[in-house]
Amino acid sequence: MSVFWAICRQHMVLAWRGGHTTLAVAFLFIGVTLMPFGLGPELALLQALAPGLLWVVLIMALLTSLDRLFQADYEDGSLDQMMLMPLPLELVVLGKLLGHYMALVLPLLLAVPLAGLLLNLAPAHLPMLLLAMLAGSPALVLLGGIGASLAVSVRRGGLLTVLLSLPFYVPVMIFGAGASQQALAGEIDETRLAILALLSLASLLAAPVAIAAALRNAVR
In whole angstroms, what is the distance from residue 162 CA to residue 67 CA? Answer: 9
Number of residues that bind another protein (CB under 8 A): 25
Angle at 34 between CA 29 and CA 39, to 5 degrees: 135
206 touches another protein (CB under 8 A)? yes
167 touches another protein (CB under 8 A)? yes
- Residue 213: CB minimum distance to another protein, A: 6
Looking at beta carbons only, is 19 or 88 nearer to another protein? Answer: 88
Contacting another protein (CB under 8 A), which of 91, 118, 166, 197? 166
Contacting another protein (CB under 8 A), which of 44, 170, 185, 205? 170
Q: Which among 23-31, 42-50, 57-65, 211-219 is the span making contact with another protein, rule CB under 8 A?
A: 211-219
46 touches another protein (CB under 8 A)? no
SS (H, E, C) 26-88: HHHHHHHHHHHHHHCCCHHHHHHHHHHHHHHHHHHHHHHHHHHCCHHHHHCCHHHHHHHCCCC
Query: What is the end-to-end Cα distance of the chain in Å, rounded?
Result: 26
